[in-house]
Amino acid sequence: MVLSDDALTLLRGSIRSVWALELLLLLRRNPGRDWSNGDLVSELRGSEVVVQEALAGFLGAGLLVAQSDGLHRYQPAAPILDRWVEEIEQAYATRPSAIIREIFAAPGNKVQIFADSFRFRLND
């Protein structure tokens, strides 16, 4: 894999879709900007629910801060978190298919769970 173990853990634990990754990278490219959910929905043409889910995951991972007025800003709780996001960003730029595979292979990924429900069980 093209990521360190720590960056891979962050990817698998906090980024549930390619869309969420794109959202995180947009926030990272604009570190001084406070974003409303509506701004993010418009910018990435997503849904309010998807934006809220992604932001909640990023907040839980310490990648964002939430302002009292409902705005969000990319501001990792520790510099190492930003380095891991940078590592993910660089890998996504050079080997996007590898990163996408990791996102969909993450435990608890709804798409993977759905796909696995159609697998034939040979040893049952």
For 74-103, the pLDDT digits (tens) are: 999 999 999 999 999 999 999 999 999 999
5-105 CATH pick, 1.10.10.10, 3.90.1200.10, 1.10.20.140, 3.30.1330.60: 1.10.10.10
Element (H, E) at 99: helix 96-105
Domain boundaries, the chain: 5-105
Q: pLDDT tens digits, residue range 29-60?
A: 999 999 999 999 999 888 889 899 999 999 99
Between 56 and 116, the higher pLDDT residue: 56
Distance (Å, whole) CA 15 – CA 9: 10
Structure tokens at 100: 């996408």
Rounded to a whole number of angstroms, the CA Rg of the chain reads 15
Question: What pTM was computed for the model?
Answer: 0.81
How confident is the model at residue 2, as a pLDDT? Answer: 77
Place of tokens 């190492």: 80
How confident is the model at residue 14, as a pLDDT? Answer: 92
- Helix, strand, coil content of the chain in percent (nearest 5): 60, 5, 35
